[in-house]
Amino acid sequence: MLHSYLLTCPICTTQLAQSNNTLVCANAHTFDIAREGYVNLLRKQLPGDTKEMLAARRSFLERGSYQPLSNMLNQISVTYLAASTSPVTILDAGCGEGYYLGRLQQSLADRPLQCVGLDISKEAIRLAARRYKQACFVVANLKERLVLADGVLHMILNIFAPRNAAEFARVLVPGGLLLVAIPAPEHLLQLRSALHLLNIEEHKQEKISEQFAADFDFVTASDLRYTLYLKHDEIVQAVMMTPNYWHLSAEQRVTMEDMEGVETTVAFTCLLFRRR
């Protein structure tokens, strides 16, 4: 479901409108709506998550391994949006295959709601649009000017995805919420140690707070910690669904194939900011 009035042309930034199966702007730039219902607004096609990465992520998430994180994001959203009685528009900036946005949409199903998911991966957006038909999905680059009109969002989710502070501020209403989820330093520590995977960036929370300081007030931080036992196929999925997938050596692949299971820590931090 495309909410075209929220979207702007990536070429000239004027508002888009839907005409049959096409989005068109005042300057006659046109963008075809895919069969699945999404639209590609990338000016330059760029690589994103592959089919293999997305299949691994969807399978891993459907097992419920990160459902506690989804529950926390939903609870924070419900709590801080409770005071709003008007329709709410939410963007998942870097939505992947749509898991977190889809579950949030379900948790807010009793109120007027519009959900938009943006991701640079066309394969991810295609998967999301096929499953979550009540949301608007767009292929777009979060690192460029967002293909959204000024001040049309009440909340942005940003879950393990690139951040664009100035653009997030532009598209949020004053007082709008930004909910950022990041891995904590000990996230998957035992698995990462066994396979010598990439480390979590140091002082990530402090850096993100500094990144948004110009336009946002920090509201609260919520930590989530639990232990997860991963079987062999879950280990493979957990590695394939992350940037580690691009960096695995032949030796690491052999080690991973030999692992029958591992008990590892899962650790996330959710940071809530309010648009000043």
Q: What is the pLDDT of residue 245?
A: 80
Structure tokens belonging to residue 176: 């709008």
On whether the 4-275 domain is CATH 3.40.50.150, my answer is yes
Domain boundaries, the chain: 4-275
Report pLDDT digits (tens) over 164-204.
Answer: 999 999 999 999 999 999 999 999 999 999 999 988 988 99
Residues of the chain with pLDDT under 70: 1
pLDDT at 47 (0 to 100):
78
Q: Find out whether 151 and 173 touch, Cβ atoms under 8 Å.
A: yes
Question: What is the model's pLDDT at position 172?
Answer: 98
Q: Which long-range contacts (CB under 8 A, 24 or more apart) does 184-188 make?
A: 184/223, 184/225, 184/267, 184/268, 184/269, 185/267, 186/225, 186/265, 186/267, 187/265, 187/266, 187/267, 187/268, 188/238, 188/264, 188/265, 188/266
Q: pTM for the complete prediction?
A: 0.96
Q: Residue 204, exposed/middle/buried by CB under 10 A (0-12, 13-18, 19+)? A: middle
What 8-state DSSP symbol labels residue 245? G
What pLDDT score was predicted for residue 110? 87
